[in-house]
Structure 1
Amino acid sequence: MTDLLASLYPWIKAFHIMSVIAWMAALFYLPRLYVYHSEQVGLSGDTHVLFQTMEHKLLKVIMNPAMIATWVFGICLALIPGVVDWGAVWPWTKLIGILAMSGFHGWLSKQRRMFASGGSIMTGRQYRMMNEVPTVLMVLIVLSVVVKF
């Protein structure tokens, strides 16, 4: 199995990078939609329904599949002998960042359900602040992998 993964290394890495890009794009965009939804649209009317549709499709059609693909290709890369030195610090800081990013993904999903149910939502300012979370985590993850600190 590891021989097969090793022979496919460039392909797995390429698909991992593409899925990360798609996941990150969605993680950056969904909180921005929440800002506009909370500040400009509210929880009723035709525009509210339109925003719910956009948020739902972004989450279900792009973000969830991209996260799953990122995890699958990332695990495949980690299983290839010599790719990850588990005795170093960097794989653990990367893993912490990935788990936090996945948790943020889950939080965004919960927020979408709050909009859909008409429940308590946060302010636009709060969503703007939360929009910085994926950037901070991306910095941690990329520095962990590239600099290997």
Structure 2
Amino acid sequence: MTDFLINWYLYIKALHIMSVIAWMAGLFYLPRLFVHHVETAGQTGPSHDLFIVMENKLLRVIMNPAMISTWLFGLLLVATPGIVSWDMVWPWTKAIAVLAMTGFHMWLAGQRRSFVAGEGLKTGRTYRMMNELPTLLMVVIVLSVVVKF
């Protein structure tokens, strides 16, 4: 397995980056859909139904597979000998930020279920504010990996 990881390192890294891009796109877009859903579509009617379909497809078809592949390729990178030194700070800050990003993903999935149920919805302002969280986490992750503090 070690030889496989070393020989395929650049491909795994490229697949990891592509997965992260797809995941981040969804993490940025779904809260924006929630803003428009809560502020313009209401809880009944054709616009509401359209938002439900869009939010569901974004989460199930793009975000969930992207998150899973990000984790899969990321763990393969971590398992590659010589890539991560756990006695440094950066892998820990990245790991914490990735766990927080995953938690945010799960929160968004819960909010989507709230829209379907028509209960427990937040305000457009709350969804706008929450939309900034993936950006902050991305900054921590990128600085951790690139600067390696």
Q: TM-score, normalised by structure 1?
A: 0.99
Say yes or no: does 1:80 pair with 2:71: no
Aligned to 1:18: 18
Partner Cα separation in structure 2 for residue 74 and residue 130 of structure 1: 25
Aligned to 2:95: 95
CA deviation vs aligned residue, 1:86-107 (integer Å, no higher than 9, x gap): 1100000000000000000000
Q: Determine helix, strand or coil for the equivalent of 2:138.
A: helix
| 1:120 CA displacement | 1.9
Partner Cα separation in structure 1 for residue 108 and residue 57 of structure 2: 13
Partner Cα separation in structure 2 for residue 71 and residue 40 of structure 1: 35
| 1:42 CA displacement | 1.0
How much is the aligned-residue C-alpha RMSD, in angstroms? 0.4
Q: Determine helix, strand or coil for the equivalent of 1:48.
A: helix
CA deviation vs aligned residue, 1:73-119 (integer Å, no higher than 9, x gap): 00000000100011100000000000000000000000000000111
Aligned to 2:59: 59
Partner Cα separation in structure 2 for residue 126 and residue 4 of structure 1: 45
Q: Determine helix, strand or coil for the equivalent of 1:102.
A: helix
Question: Which sections of structure 2, spanning at least 5 residues, go unmatched?
Answer: none
Structure 1's consecutive aligned runs of 4 or more residues displaced over 2 angstroms after TM superposition are none
Sequence identity percentage? 66
Partner Cα separation in structure 2 for residue 53 and residue 148 of structure 1: 41
Letter in 2 for 1:40: T
Aligned to 1:136: 136
Q: Determine helix, strand or coil for the equivalent of 2:49.
A: helix
Q: Determine helix, strand or coil for the equivalent of 1:81.
A: coil
Q: TM-score, normalised by structure 2?
A: 0.99
Aligned to 1:9: 9
Partner Cα separation in structure 2 for residue 27 and residue 2 of structure 1: 33
